[in-house]
Structure 1
Amino acid sequence: MVTEGENARLIAGRYRLDARLGRGGMGVVWRATDLLLGRNVAVKEVAADPALSEEEARRRRERTLREARAAAQLGHPHIIVVHDVVEDGEHPYIVMELVEGGSLADRLAAAGPVEPAEAARIGLALLGALRTAHAAGVLHRDIKPANVLLEEPGGRVEPESGGPLAVHQRAHARGATNNPGYRNASVAAATHNGRDAALWLFTWDGFSAAEGPRHTRDLCWEEDGRLYDVWVSAPVAQAEEARGYLDTALRTFVRTGG
């Protein structure tokens, strides 16, 4: 049950949503209080997408819950702990450890690129967290500065849980969305080996901790029931080089495996 208080909502009779911490493509993250245990937590309210059919929304909801439950099994000092997953009125909420600190994107915006040693520390912490997740079959799919939480300078580094379930949309979808960390995004219909494809162009801050934003060209297509994705990126000043890199990659791309 979701109940509305004067200034806060109560989720599942237990989690009180106290203040909004942020909003992203997948929903809203709240600072909340677990009234049963008397502790502060973070609650991700997974947003509904009105463009999805009822069946698509159901599948997305089930996949969100499945991935959150899988993430709850992970144990690593640089992975946010998932405490609970609740569903109310077919609306999922993910209850997580509350990290007192801003994101890597916040730090970069306030102070500019970090020192190489700090960038290496952050990178190694993320690598360790991702290795643990991948070993358990869990993929984050949206590592970027806005989704990397830092407790304090020199403290823990954690990829935010519950990232988008897919990076790409089909070319006939509603089009590109400029999510935090991604700018100047566009998508256009294309072809590859006679198959329909989607060509994405965007600027992203994924490497900004060390060298600044990059321009990316990304082609994805479906073949034999699978989604393939080939992308290249280059510093913004060398954006045209990315075009040549992508053409070369596509010419040499060879599918392997079953």
Structure 2
Amino acid sequence: MSEESRLIAGRYRLLDRLGRGGMGTVWRADDELLGRRVAVKELHPEDAGGGRNSSPYSSAAAPLREARAVARVKHPHVIVVHDVVVDDGLPYIVMELVDGGSLAERIARGGPVDVPEAARIGLALLAALKAAHQLGVLHRDLKPANVLLEESTGRIVLTDFGIAQLAGSTTITDGGSFVGSPEYTAPERMQGVRAGPESDLWSLGVLLCAVLSGESPFRRDSLGGILHAVVEDEIRPPAQAAPLLPVVLGLLERDPERRIGAGEAEELLRTYVTTGSVPLSAARPAPTRKDNTSPAPASPASVPDGSAAGAPALRQPVAAPTSGGRRRAPLLVAAALVAALAGAAGAAAVLFHGDDGSGAQAGPSRTAASSAPTARTEQSPANAPKPNPTVTVTTPPVASVKKPVAPKGYLSVADPGGFALAVPEGFTRSQDDKRVYYVAPDRGIRIGVRVQNATPDGSLGAMRRSHADGPSTNPGYRDGKVTPTTHNGLPAALWEFTWNGFSEAEGDRHTIDICWDESGRMYDVWVSAPVGRADEARRHFDTALDSFTPAG
């Protein structure tokens, strides 16, 4: 039986993959017992706490408990969980199938939303969170990618409770992994202390900023930078958030005890929906510092209306919660978290440090220059041209990337370029100024990765430019085709072509290349191989793409 038609639990037939994330793979499936279409989430073995040979009541116990907790939440804006099953030692969560994309896809495709739509989204998510919190369930990963928009009705659905926990959980797991998305994580969770419903409300404040402006106000080039921004740096809501500023400032209050509650946030958003404005007197002053000095309050006079050029910065450098009368500095806690996340990833990068003859060598962290007009042109590691930089992209440290599980015959690599993937055993790493390569021992097959800033016309436009430039960048370019597609639910473009290779000894080659935008960056993954080894190359391409994990 093929992977696409697997039958699990004697009932759910997996049809096609909808997406893959850090917590599992989501499939479109048929419930053959009830004759309905569903979504099935296959939890990754490492996230289930075991593997196929583990006892289903030990390896799957934690995620199944969480799924059952979420299944108790009955609300129109919360994903419906139909069933939780164990098949061949692995847990699966069966959910309703929402016909529509995510909020992240909508922003990537059409840009930020207007203020009325942001208020509508905020109200729906507040209602969903209130229903979950009343049952003691925390989401812990509220972000645009985990919000679905039903195409036919416009219904907003909060999904992916895959890391949800009952109230009182911390951000660091027993295995030392970071739980959640750092840009959307509340400062108290960054500091490793127990958190409650207030943490989800902080994430909602970040989400409102992101949907109104296109990105989180805590977006930085590294995990360390994000941690500093969340815990210590000035909070600068985007100018687009000015009409909802009292709500945003209230939710982005670093002290959870002073953060506005769901009821107050809901009241303010409903006021905007009915009147078109939020009373400026609702804006809260910044908290008093621990050294008894107080920053200037966000008074009504300082809160701009929708025509203002920007929103004020809000400085909230609060200390971590106390324990036994002792204070902990937020930045020290953040630094410890960065150090804890470094782990084995650095060792893998050292293992794959190599030189393929081009003289390019890997470092622990580097700054990549990008000319940005095209996604990429096929290049041999030994023949890559010098860059023409106009945009600088600082890649995150390897510590911020979680290594994927590698199938048999492959090794899991956390690359210094700010991503992780599975590559065939025996392949060696090299890089030039723009690209990272993993090359077969006989140098016949090359896996390439390039990370650069997203371009205004997106991945499809970038690939079409590369296709147009194909004859000038790839000798004997022919049979080129660019196809719109998706990757992990995000808009993507697939480019395939055949060419003559860079030398007569190389011979005819075939290249498979996919490009997509994610979190403000453009990711490009490709495999190039002799035409006679196209099937082998496609297997490597599929494995690299399925396992590819960007930083952050």
State the TM-score, normalizing by the size of structure 2: 0.34
Question: 1:214 is matched by which residue type in structure 2?
Answer: P
**1:51 CA displacement:** 11
Q: Output the amino acid matched with 1:144.
A: K
Deviation of 1:161 after TM superposition, in Å, equals 3.4
Instruction: Supply the AA of the counterpart residue of 1:209.
Output: V
1:32 equivalent to 2:29? Answer yes
Is 1:218–1:232's contact at 8 Å kept on the other side of the alignment? no
1:45 counterpart (42, 47, 51):
42
Aligned 8 A contact 2:172 2:192 in 1:
no
* Contact 2:63–2:162 under 8 Å retained in 1: no
The 3-state SS of whatever aligns with 1:120 is helix
Moved more, 151-160 or 98-107: 151-160
Match of 2:217 in 1: 214
- Give me the whole-angstrom Cα distance separating, in 2, the residues matched to 1:97 and 1:45: 14
Q: Indicate the residue corresponding to 1:9 in structure 2.
A: 6
**Offset, 1:5:** 3.7
Q: Give the 3 Å change call, closer, same or farther, for CA 210–59 of structure 1 in structure 2.
A: farther
What are the Cα deviations for residues 121-162 of structure 1, in whole angstroms up to 9, with x where unaligned?
Answer: 011001001100110111111110000000028611111133
SS at match of 1:40: strand
Judged with a 3 Å threshold, the aligned counterparts in structure 2 of structure 1 residues 20 and 182 are, in CA distance, closer, same or farther, namely farther
TM-score (norm: length of structure 1): 0.69
Tell me how far apart the structure 2 counterparts of residues 74 and 153 of structure 1 sit (CA, whole Å). 23
Q: Is the 8 A contact 1:141 1:163 kept in 2?
A: no
Structure 1 SS opposite 2:68: helix
1:2-54 CA distance string (max 9 Å, x none):
xx347411111110111111111110011100011111000000111289678
Displacement of 1:66 in angstroms is: 0.6
CA distance in 1, matches of 2:48, 2:35: 38
Return the alpha-carbon distance in structure 1 between the equivalents of residues 157 and 35 of structure 2.
Answer: 24
> In the alignment, is the contact (CA less than 8 A) between 1:103 and 1:145 conserved in 2?
yes
Q: 1:208 to 1:89 in 2, by over 3 A?
A: same
Give the drift of 1:170: 6.7
Residue type at the aligned position of 1:84: D
SS in structure 2 of the partner of residue 146 of structure 1: helix
CA shift digits 1:47-80 (9 cap, x unpaired): 112896789x976631210111121122111111
- Contact 1:213-1:235 at 8 Å conserved across structures: no
Greater strand content: 1
The DSSP-based 3-state class of the residue aligned with 1:214 is coil
SS at structure 2 position matched to 1:28? strand
Greater CA radius of gyration, 1 or 2?
2
Structural mapping, 1:52-67, within 5 Å: 61-67=60-66
| Partner Cα separation in structure 1 for residue 319 and residue 15 of structure 2 | 49
Matched, 1:162 2:165: no
Q: Distance in 2 between matches of 1:210 and 1:107?
A: 12
Bigger proportion of residues as helix: 2
1:250 matched residue in structure 2: 319
Question: For residues 97-127 of structure 1, what are the alpha-carbon distances to aligned partners after superposition, in whole Å with 9 as ceiling and x for unaligned?
Answer: 0000000000000011101000110110010
Secondary structure in structure 2 of the residue aligned to 1:163: coil
Residues 1:103 and 1:158: Cα distance change in structure 2 (over 3 Å): same
In 2, the alpha carbon distance for the partners of 1:95 and 1:236 equals 38
Structure 1 unaligned residues grouped into runs of 5+: 184-189, 193-204, 220-228
The structure showing larger relative contact order (alpha-carbon pairs under 8 Å, at least 6 residues apart) is 1
Q: 1:120 to 1:159 in 2, by over 3 A?
A: same
Q: Are positions 1:93 and 2:92 aligned together? A: yes
Q: Any conservation in 2 of the 1:70–1:138 contact (CA below 8 Å)?
A: yes
Aligned pairs, how many? 218
Pairwise mapping of residues 86-235 of structure 1 onto structure 2 (< 5 A)?
86-152=85-151, 155-165=154-164, 168-169=171-172, 173=176, 206=207, 207-211=209-213, 212-215=215-218, 217-218=226-227, 234-235=235-236
Q: Tell whether the 8 Å contact from 2:15 to 2:30 is kept in structure 1 after alignment.
A: yes
Tell me the distance in 2 between the aligned counterparts of 1:96 and 1:10. Answer: 16
RMSD: 4.1
Change (3 A) 1:44 1:6: closer
Write the distance in 2 (CA, Å) between the matches of 1:43 and 1:93.
Answer: 7
